[in-house]
Structure 1
Amino acid sequence: MTQQTPDQYRVFGNPIEHSRSPDIHHIFAEKSQQSIDYQKQLVDIEDFSNAVSGFIHQGGKGANVTVPFKEQALIIADELTERASLAGAVNTLSFREGKIFGDNTDGEGLVQDLIANNVILKQSRILLLGAGGAARGVLLPLLAQTPHSIVVANRTVSKAEILCQHFADKRLSACGFQDLEQQQFDVIINATSASLSGSLPPIPISLISQNVVCYDMVYGKDLTPFLRWAKENGAIKVIDGLGMLVGQAAVSFEVWRGIAPEVRSVIDSLRASLK
């Protein structure tokens, strides 16, 4: 009996060396008895479209897309999901029937991680820090959880206002970081890149209390600067973005294979390897 060739998947990015996606998807596949081969591929900045075409030509079934190609992936897709279209970016490509299908699983990964950590989103007051691609990518899934309100705060207020107008939802409003004094929230989500450079979003200490949940989309071996600051100032529940990383991968896996993989043990395994 001949062994069946595993279905081929990729993650395209630049840089890509640090990507944990192959580890995550191979664990998903092993646990759900799916035969896949998932590799990371470094792509020249000018060569994304050719790299995708070449992979399709080799019989590739799907791909994840990371920085800096998510907007380019949006452009080359023949069909988009609503969440990809509104996010203005694609992180999951599927190749079938001669077409490229684009999806964005980042926001769903975030929402699923918040729910797994027993964070109540329904009727909650959410503060989203930042108005770039990371913030835009999670707004639709967050709104789907029927929060009371989402305030998008950004250094440049006009950018936050444009983002809110794009979604045209009365629960959304925009402000500058300096306008947050006197406001209160149930959940604060850091979608800025501040933690990557070891800095903090410039928000007032008055936002932090023992009842507010603080979430950072970034993760690392230790608490991010934002989460460390929140904890030092009284926040009890602080969550980093490792679960979002595994969660968005799980949604991609389900898009491709029709199976929703179990994520908790994968998060625990990655967490242990970070230590």
Structure 2
Amino acid sequence: MAAQRNPREVRIIGIGTGSPAHVTGQAIDALRECDVFLVADKGEVKDELVAVRRLICEAFLDEGTFRIVTVTDPERGPDAHRDRAAYRTGVDAWHAARAERYAEIIDGLPAGETVGFLVWGDPAFYDSTIRIVDAVAQRLPLRVRVTAGLSAIQVLAAEHGIVLNGIGQPVHITTGRRLVDEWSPALGTVVVMLDASLRCRELVERAPDLTIHWGAYLGLPQQVLRAGRLADVIDEIVGVRARLRQEHGWVMDTYALTPASPLDAQDAGVAVLVGDHGE
């Protein structure tokens, strides 16, 4: 009978939205426990995302104490043109392919090495890493610990100097894909993730007086912010986003929509939706 292997130690670490200043003391301790970091390689246009992760490691770890292994990310279909069922099927297949690649690499690492995953923002908000590592754990024995990070939701609010929830009211989190069907003034402020199409444009006729607070590359040197009445500034935001994506090859953005009446916002609470990095 083959000897049972000891579980591989894995750390899933939220690193904030790009700035080393976002990395918490707890996250630094977790970084220092890792021997090798697995980072998804999404192609040349997103090399900067790998580079930022490398810079964060170099900021807190001694040279020669860690390795970064890039893993070619599986192809993912055109989500914007899929219905809800096809979208879920496509994401599930993408997650399974990722898990298979990570499992192969982790299985080949020297015994005793601790593996780290550097998660943009916080692992709990619209990120697939925990799910994928859970799938890897179906193939290999793992012992996993998760460290929270500063999310784009928090950074957006701080950079604009706004409060997301009404007093004693809930925060609702959803995606750009669901925004138009779900939006109602009763939701109060709505913050939006995974919205590469800026579908808030479709709300202009229904609610032109919504206030939008928008931010791209939050926490990075190229951060861009815009705010104003939705009907007045949405065309500018669409143009700025397109220009930034062309310049950098990628963009992560988040926005909040607040009803015109402060009393309505206070009574109804907040909904949150966020950028285009995908799950």
Q: Which has the higher contact order (CA 8 A, sep 6+)?
A: 2
TM-score, with structure 2 as normaliser: 0.41
Mark the structure with the bigger radius of gyration. 2
TM-score, with structure 1 as normaliser: 0.41
